[in-house]
């Protein structure tokens, strides 16, 4: 089995294409004002212990904020704007093009303190 790298994971997501869908059940039913979640694509995984990869996108309007416990291990990218991500006691400003990770069970708060919409792409590693 080939070794998975960040580059191969991202290349697989790009090749898979985007198909607009509905709100992700992984994000739960909780809605936050100014936050729009979209499910794009799910596909089977070849990663041991990971049944599928799910691609999501979350758009934050200026001033919008969400907070939740992570249902899965995830890799996230800020694709537009600037997001402030709080994990535990650490808050980091994530600029367009930057990545961060979170693990299952982690508490995370994301907010858009800017004046333009910010977008987060989420790559969920859904366990088997």
Instruction: Give yes or no for a contact between 87 and 106, defined as CB atoms under 8 angstroms apart.
Output: yes
Distance (Å, whole) CA 40 – CA 123? 10
Please give the order of strands across the beta sheet that includes 65-69: 65-69, 107-111, 82-87, 90-95
Distance (Å, whole) CA 53 – CA 8? 13
pLDDT in tens, 11-61: 444 444 434 444 444 444 457 888 998 888 999 999 999 999 999 999 999
Domains in the chain, please, with CATH?
Answer: 6-127 (2.60.120.10)
pLDDT in tens, 54-109: 999 999 999 999 999 999 999 999 999 999 999 999 999 999 999 999 999 999 99
Residue showing tokens 């987060």: 120
Q: What pLDDT, on the 0 to 100 scale, is given for residue 110?
A: 96
């Amino acid at each position: 089995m080939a070794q998975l790298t960040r580059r191969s994971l991202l290349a697989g997501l790009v090749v898979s294409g985007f198909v607009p869908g509905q709100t992700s059940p992984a994000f739960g039913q909780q809605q936050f004002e100014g936050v729009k979640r979209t499910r794009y694509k799910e596909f089977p995984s070849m990663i041991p212990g990971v049944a599928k990869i799910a691609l999501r996108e979350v758009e934050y309007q200026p001033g919008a904020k969400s907070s939740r416990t992570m249902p899965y291990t995830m890799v996230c990218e800020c694709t537009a704007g600037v997001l402030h991500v709080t994990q535990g006691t650490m808050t980091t400003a994530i600029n367009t093009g930057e990545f961060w990770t979170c693990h299952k069970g982690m508490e995370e708060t994301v907010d858009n303190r800017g004046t333009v919409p910010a977008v987060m792409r989420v790559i969920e590693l859904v366990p088997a």
